[in-house]
Structures are given as C-alpha cells and as structure tokens.
Copies of this chain bind each other. A is one copy, B any other.
C-alpha cells in the first residue's frame, strides 16, 4: 500500500484534532483512501500540550512544511488571512495540494487561489470552512450537481445560534447569554465576527459561489447581526408561530442574486427552526431535488477535523493512483465561473416582522394600517396588547406580506414620524422557507 504524506500547519484546536483523528482512525482511513495517510511534518510556532506529535518532524517555521519534499498535501489550520495566504501560495508553488478550514481565506482570496491552483494542476479543498463537520460543500458541489440551485438558507454560525436558542428557551437577554457563551468558550473575547454576522457572511459567500457558479464576492454580502434582538422579539415571534434564527441566505431572484445574513423569523414547524444550540444546518432548494437539509456540528476540534480528513482522503485517493483530483474548487473550471449581478438589499423582497411602541389611544392603529395600505403592504398578522398597569404605551407587532425592502423602509419611516409612535421600529425579515 502506498503512503501519502500530510503536513499540518497549526496545532490549535482543529490542528491537534486533525492530527489525532488521522492517528486514531488510521486503519479505517487507509482503507477508504486506498493508501496509508501519514503526518509527515507538523508546523507550529509553539507546542500544544494536549497534542503529542511524538515522532513527527516538527518545524517552528511553518513555511518549512510547504517546502518539505516529502509532503504531498499541506493542511492549513493557522487561521487568519495574512500568513495563511502566503503559506497556501508557498504550498502551491511547491506542488502540494492544500486542505484548509479557513473560511475567511477562501471567501476573500479564493478566486485568486483557485486560479493559481488550477494553473498548477493542484487542488484546494475546504470542506471544513463551512459548517464544520457537515459535508455541505461536497453535497452542494457533487451531490446536487444535477440541479439548478434556487436558494439556500443556513444556520452557519454556532455561537449566534447558541445565543438565540438560550434567549428563547430561558428568556434571557442577549448580553447575558453572550457573556456565558464567552465563558464556555463558544464565543471569542471579541465576539464581533460571530454576532455581527461576518463569520456567517464568509461561509455564505462560499456556499453561494458553488450554488450559482459565480466568483466569491465577500464585499457584496448584506450583513446584519443579532445584537439588537430583545427577548420581547423572541417572545412575540413565538406567539406568531415563528422562531428567530440568524440565517445566511442566497437566492436566485429574477433580477439578480440575493446574498444576505440577518436575523430571520422562520415558521416554527420548519426543521431549520428546530436546530438549536451550537449546531449548524443548511437548507438547499434544488430545481430537481426540492428542499434538502444538512445538519450537524458547525465547530469544535473533532467535527472540524472530520471535514479536514474527508478532504485529505479525497486527495490522497487520487495521489495514490497517480491521478489528478477531478472536482474543481467551485464545481467548475475557473474560466467557467461567471460574474452575476448581486441585488442590493433595497431591491430584495421579503416579508417583515415590525415591532413598534405606540401610544394607547384611538386612531393609532388606523394611521399605521393606512400607511401600510398606501404602500401596498398587506398585514398578515397583528398583535396589540392592553397596556401594562400604569403604562400609556403598548407594543404593536405587525407581520407583513412580501414587499420590496425599499418600500418597507420608506413606509416604516413614515410610521416612525407619526407623533403616536415612539422611537424607532424594530424590523426583522420573515422567510417561509417552504420551497
């Protein structure tokens, strides 16, 4: 049996998880790859006390891994986009295939890297970059290859989903749960990437590029975080039969592609509405297959290593037979990946949840509904409660039908200008996700 050598750069959570998985399941993995897969060199600036690399050659200079003539596949697990970019390029220059879990790198530099890899006859595999252990890249790119994908929607940030699940289950406020998530290690000390949707936007861009055969365009994603959500929104949504999820959505609309990350009301019966805690799930609607859903752990050492190792096996299988890996990074040759118009968010059509604070006096509701009606926005559901004891203001919650975003924005501005409406209106998009 042949041996294929892997060089692992980065010995953090995922790096040590990958090292361990390749060892623990070595026999099964060899059977599936048709060759032995051995870690030939590890590159790490410092040791990881939880990972005994024992007899494996170790370089403090990770670039040595990219230049090691023994290494067939470089596994980039250092993160970030600066050194990682240089490292991947160094690997390609040295004729090595690359496996990475780095969503930022792929989302922001994938177009160039994929072109350079194709030129060199090499592969860059990145299953672990989106939704951790869920084999969603393979499913979308190969499993659904006969389909024209119409849309996809995913819970692709575990931290955000954990926070929203806790807010709903325990009625806790955002900031409170965030602090706990940080203590548990689910959220970074600086949680911006997770709670502002940047991490989800990185992943969405990758999924959308495969789905629609277009270049990665991270700067075109509309991104809205979950920091503004209150438990009252979670509760009103519940009352209306919905759950609030932070979704990445890509859709082939009539006049362009929608690319957006934002809190979303989802009907409570949908499987996606029932994905809780740190779990991820992606719903993909193909023209032939209809809706399909992929669920699992979106992060963590072992689940992410599962995806990294799957990529390694795919590459090793080809290397061992002296063949070229056949599946292109985005499912198409670089030359066939074509630019498509991305819709500005103003032009996107969705339904809406609106929560406003109104004075409890006659006529307010009729003014609000008049403005909606004049804007062609019909009201699907409405909640108005009696004021609390001693309170003269009441929350007013409206679910609208689908309307163009620019239309909704101007209508809500008009409503906000009413003297009987206090402060600004909380707006959350609603998606039926019913195919």
Contacts and interface: CB of A to CB of B under 8 A. Distances in A.
Interface of A: 17, 21-22, 24-25, 28-29, 31-34, 127, 133-135, 138-139, 141-148, 213, 269, 271, 274-275, 281, 286-297, 300, 302-303, 305-310, 312-314, 317-318, 321, 323-324, 326-328, 331-333, 336
Given A303-B290, A324-B321, A326-B323, A142 B274 contact: no
Contacts of A295: 271, 292-295
B146 A135 contact: no
A270 B389 CA distance: 40
A146 B296 contact: no
A324 to B, nearest CB: 7
Contacts of A275: 271
A313 B271 CA distance: 30
Nearest to A336: B31
A25 B310 contact: no
11 contacts: A25-B146, A28-B148, A32-B331, A135-B144, A145-B314, A146-B309, A281-B293, A288-B306, A290-B297, A293-B293, A323-B326
B32 A332 contact: yes
B21 A306 contact: no
Nearest to A33: B145
A326 B331 contact: no
Contacts of A24: 287
A294 B143 CA distance: 12
Given A127-B143, A142-B138, A28 B213 contact: yes
A321 to B, nearest CB: 6
A133 B306 CA distance: 24
Contacts of A306: 144, 146-147, 286, 288-289
Contact of A323 (B22, B271, B289, B323): B323
A303 B289 contact: yes
